[in-house]
Amino acid sequence: MKHILILADGPIARSFLEWVGKTRVANNQYQAVCYREDVLPEKMSRSLSVSHIDPTSYGKLLGLMSEVRYSTVFIVMDNEDDTLYSLQNVRKIDPKIPIVLLDKWNIVDTDMENLTVVNENQLIAAHLYDHLPNVPVIAQNVGLGEGEIMEILVPFGSSYSYRHVGSIAQRKWKIAAVYRNKKQIIPTSATMIYPNDTLLVLGKPRVLDGIYKSINRRIGLFPEPFGQNLYLVLDFMRDKEKALIYLKEAIYLTDQLEEKALIVRIVNPSDFVLIDQLREEEKENVTIHVCYDTAEVNTLIEYDIQLYDIGLVLNSIDSFEKLGLMEQLFDLKKLVYLFGDRSLYDISESVVLITDESEMESISSTVIDFSESLNLKLHLCDFDPEGDFESKQKIIEHYETLSQIFNYEITIDQERVNPVRKLHSFDAIIQLSAFNQKTSKRSIFNFVSTRVQDYLLTIENHPKILVPVEVSEN
C-alpha cells in the first residue's frame, strides 16, 4: 500500500481529486489536505481521506506527516505564496520525499532534487498546439515525454499510402501500431497502410520529426520511404564493358531527383585505368568506393545500404542474379533499378502491367512518384489473352483515384494480347513492377508464362524499377 499526500486548493486541485476518485488504484491510499470545503469533490472515494488543516502551517503539517510514511507529495494550490510555503515545509520535514508540484507562475527551481514540476502555462500551450493543423501529436506522459512516441495521420496522397509496413525502411524508428476505423492493428510486414490510417511510431524525436514531414508530404520524395539515396553496384566481372555507361545513367537519374546522393560501389576490380575514368565523374553528390576483398561482398553491400540510407539500388541483371542481390535486396526491402539495352535518357514513358490487386495497390504511390519525378507518361496496361478486363476494374479505379489525388494523368491500355509479346514490342519505356518472393530468375521457359514475375529478368531491352512487396499469407 502506497500513501500519497495531496496539498490541495483551488479548482485544479478539485478536478485532480475527482480524477483520483474516478480512476481508483487498489494499492494507493490518498490523504488530501485543504482548509476550504469547496475543494472537495461531491463524491468521495473510499481511498481518499481529508484533513482540514492549513498546509502552510509547518507544525500542523509535521504532525500529519509524522503519523504516516508518504511515498509522494502533490502540491496543487491556487496561491503563489501558499505554494512556496508548502514546498518549504515539506522539504524541511523530509528532504528526500518525491514531490510533484503545479507551478502556474514559473517560480520553482526545476533542478531541485526529487522535484517534478508541472508548468500549467506550458502544459496548456502544448495541448493547444496539438490541435493546430499539420502538427504531430506526441506522447507527453509516456516514456521520456520528449517526442519519442508520436501519432501520425496518413493523409491522402502520402507516399506512405498503399504500402506494406515491411517495405518501409524503418531505421532508428518503428511503426508499433496502426489505427483504422477505431480499431487497433498490431502490424506485420504484410500489413498495408491506407489513407486516413493513424500510425503510432516510436523512435528518436529528431528522426520522428523527419518521418512526420515525410508522411505528410506528397509525391516528390522518390525513393523514400525505402530510403534516401541511390546506390550503384558495378561488378567488373560482369559490368566492365558498360561500367561508364551505367555510371552516367545513374548520375542522370540522381540529378532528376530532389537532393539525393549517389554512392557507387565497385566490386571485383580488375582495370585500374577504368577506375580512374569512373572517378573523373565524382562530384559533390557522387562518391565512388572500391572493394578489393571479394570474400565479403554481400556483407559490405548491406553495410553500405544501412550506412548511407539507401532506398534504390542500381545494377545490371547479371549482377542482380549472380551476386545474390535478388534475395538480399528483397530481404532489405529496397527498390531495385535494373539497366536495360535502352538508356534512361531515351525513355519517355513508364509502363505498369496489371497483376495481383494487393501488389498493384502497394506499388501505386511509387509508380506515380517515379513517373512524375522523371516527367514520364504513365501507362497502366491490362494485357489479357482471354480478354478478362472486368476482374481488373478495382485496380483501375484505384489508379484513377490516385491520378486525381496527385493530379497526374494515367493512360489505361486494355488489349487482348499476350503480355510478354506485347511488352517486347514496346520501345523507349521503363517498366515498373512488384518484386516479391515469387520473382523468377532467367530461363528459356519464362517465355511460355503469362506471369509478370516469370519474365521480369528475361526481357532486357528496357530498364526496370522493382518495388519490394510482401506476399500476404491470406
Which residue in 105, 88, 197, 109 sits closest to 153, CA to CA?
197
Rounded-to-integer distance, Cα 174 and Cα 161, Å: 16
Confidence of residue 227 (pLDDT cuts 50, 70, 90): confident
Question: pLDDT value at position 278?
Answer: 95
Count the Cβ atoms, other than its own, within 10 Å of residue 136. Answer: 18
Model confidence at 109: pLDDT above 80: no
Model confidence at 359: pLDDT above 60: yes
| The Cα angle at residue 126 between residues 123 and 131, in degrees rounded to 5 | 135
Q: Give 380-396 pLDDT, tens digit per residue.
A: 999 888 888 888 898 99
Q: Give 59-71 pLDDT, tens digit per residue.
A: 999 999 998 899 9
Number of H helices, E strands in the chain: 15, 23
Rounded-to-integer distance, Cα 260 and Cα 255, Å: 8
Mean pLDDT value across residues 433-454: 60
Out of 101-115, 132-146, 233-247, 419-433, pick the least confident: 132-146
Out of 97-111, 171-185, 414-428, 439-453, pick the least confident: 439-453
Query: Please, are residues 453 and 417 in contact by the beta-carbon 8 Å criterion?
Result: no
Rounded-to-integer distance, Cα 319 and Cα 323, Å: 5
Rounded-to-integer distance, Cα 92 and Cα 84, Å: 12
Confidence of residue 474 (pLDDT cuts 50, 70, 90): very low
Question: pLDDT value at position 25?
Answer: 62
C-alpha cell at 41: 469533490
Question: pLDDT value at position 442?
Answer: 47
Question: pLDDT value at position 458?
Answer: 76
pTM: 0.67
Model confidence at 473: pLDDT above 80: no
| The Cα angle at residue 192 between residues 378 and 199, in degrees rounded to 5 | 115
Question: pLDDT value at position 126?
Answer: 79
Q: Give 3-58 pLDDT, tens digit per residue.
A: 999 999 999 999 999 888 776 566 788 999 998 888 888 777 788 889 998 888 99
Domains in the chain, start-ordered, CATH in brackets? 2-124 (3.40.50.720), 133-216 (3.30.70.1450), 229-335 (3.40.50), 344-468 (3.40.50.620)
Question: pLDDT value at position 392?
Answer: 87
Question: pLDDT value at position 131?
Answer: 77
Query: Please, are residues 364 and 405 in contact by the beta-carbon 8 Å criterion?
Result: no
Question: pLDDT value at position 137?
Answer: 74
Model confidence at 443: pLDDT above 50: no
Query: Please, are residues 416 and 385 in contact by the beta-carbon 8 Å criterion?
Result: yes
Query: b/e per residue, 47-75, with b = 16+ CB within 10 A?
Result: bbebbebbbbebebbeebbeeeebebbbb
Question: pLDDT value at position 454?
Answer: 62
For a pLDDT cut of 70, what percent of the chain falls above it?
92
Question: pLDDT value at position 44?
Answer: 78
Model confidence at 444: pLDDT above 70: no
Out of 72-76, 254-258, 450-454, pick the least confident: 450-454
Q: How far apart are the first and last CA of the chain?
A: 49
> How does the average pLDDT of the chain come out, rounded?
86
C-alpha cell at 123: 502544459
Q: Give 320-329 pLDDT, tens digit per residue.
A: 988 888 889 9
